[in-house]
Structure 1
Amino acid sequence: MSNYLDAAIATALGAGDRFLNIFGLDKDYLTGGYDQLRSFLGPHVQYPLGLIGLDVDYLVWLLCVLAPIIFAFVLPLITVTVFYLCICVINFVKFKHHFYQIGHSGNWRKAGRLACAIMWRTLGRLWHGYEVRGLDKLPINAESPAMLVYYHGEMPIDCYYLMAELVLQNNDKTKSVADRFVFQLPGWGAMLEAFNVIRGTRSECEEAFSQGYFVLLAPGGTREMLYSDANYDIHWGSRLGYAKLALKAKVPIYPVFTRNIREVFRFVRIRPFWNWQLKLYERFKLPFVLLYGGFPSKLVTFIGDPIMVESEENMAVEDLNERVQSALKNIIDNVQPKPGKIIRAFLERFHPVQVSL
């Protein structure tokens, strides 16, 4: 065994030496290093390795085999991780004065919201190259409420990213509506409260509008998350509550869509298991689904032109709902390739596609 191993190692090292010789390195660069490593390890590890049935030759061979993996993947990954940690630290330091002021005011919710916003924006920009186009369309006046209606993907991380951008741009008056099951998750209460996430009841939304908040919601909700797919069809059913609220509060509605939002996470849609999962949702109103992904796909959020809402007397709820769905569908048709492809969305990180509304 040892002779065959020695021959294999010698052959590999010889080939490596000939390749490195092209770049002007010593003729026996790898072979000499291997001999030095073997002579160094021999006296120290021969006995303990013998106790477990290994020898120095095997250990050195194993190191030679694993070296390309270590240098190609492990060490770069460690380096990149250190860089990302540094970026997070720099972002926190950048906003340290804001943290200091908020901390001394005793507003733990606002301090926590700012901390979460920094982390979400850092993650979005680094992992997804996240961008928002159309922020300038939103009301500048801090007392002007608005409703932002968005398409719900498998995982609404675009909602978190958009809220983070709004918080860090001194627009801290944004609330997001989440499905009721989210509030039942253990340990999530304080985070949802700090990040202004509400259940979306009529009273909560009306109060938010009266205080000048932006309310970010997805009329399709969990149903759209489950029943839509890579073709990005809108699934709102007969849900008209958002339109009734907008008409009563007379707030403008902004359609919002994120390109490639379904190319980050995917559900395991294997039949008949997928049909069973949908039946469980219809029965318990909980998403019993298997999720995979976290792919670094390019994400770009587009905010459309506002749909100005008239009084309830001059506009029917159904007409407003149709206008909003039509506006959102037009954005999807203009900016989203169908069907969505994970590879294509990933490559857009390096070859951005110029898309505009």
Structure 2
Amino acid sequence: MILTQQRTQLAKFQSLIALVLLCIGISLMSDKFLTVDNAWNVMRQISVNICISVGMTLVVLTSGIDLSVGSVLAFCGAITAGLLKSGIELPSNNLYIGFTILGAILVGLIAGALLGLFNGWTITRFKVPPFVATLAMLTIARGLTLLWTKGFPISNLGNSFAYIGTGWFLGIPLPVWISAVVIVSAVVITQKTALGRYIYAIGGNEHASKLSGININKVKLIVYSIAGVLAAVGGIMVTSRLDSAQPNAGISYELDSIAAVVIGGTSLSGGRGTIMGTVLGAIIIGVLNNGLVLLNVSPFWQQVVKGGVILLAVIIDKANSKND
């Protein structure tokens, strides 16, 4: 009994322990790691992954998956950049529609919501497995990005827009503030609202949830729409930071977000996990990426290491599920 309790307590703090050990290990191998500039750099970089991963957490809690977030990120960033720089021209009607920064951002967020909604509709209406539906959207959104950009970056978007990704507010990078708002909102949703309770219930036992009167399809539509919006938020931040919408932006971002979710303790079978656990997982992934760069590890080996970390996290998740 005592051993079981100790194992449970250890499982709760395993991500935090892993982060501490990772920081100690990297700091011993690189004197550039424990610096203020590097710390802010890491926080700015993980802000994007946190936004994506929070949306992924909500999806995974319903026992789903979203492989399209990287492509949705790229498309929404490109939409925002294109409208901001060139607007919409309708030569046949001799009409030009210009967009302010706020207007372009709103359209980008709406595009993310619509793509996420389409994912949810495909899954609920046609009973397509989430893996297959979102894999298809991964390709669709990437194709739409290439069509919109014609394969070329959309750059020189202005200092005001660049402030979103590179600016500071009260001594803290603005992307960190944006991710903090996303985190707080998601925590409130999962812990203080009926929607949060429904998300956990569906992931725990979808059949029982249906019998209890929960509108499962509606909840899934909302969850996948939120995931799309948060991918769009990430896309806008990336585009702003680079001052350019790249057609190949967001490649492999879905792997980092899934890694953050699993490392943070969210079960891939659904119904168990927390937003703050995912945030911790995103920090671990960010520190790992930063450490590998500082140690001049080959980008090819970086992929191997991250893949191994994801595999290890899934193995631990399965082990914890059996102990439950």
Using structure 1 for the length normalisation, give the TM-score: 0.26
Q: Of Structure 1 and Structure 2, which has the larger fraction of its residues in helix?
A: 2
Using structure 2 for the length normalisation, give the TM-score: 0.28
Higher RCO (CA < 8 A, seq sep 6+): 2
Q: Of Structure 1 and Structure 2, which has the larger fraction of its residues in strand?
A: 1
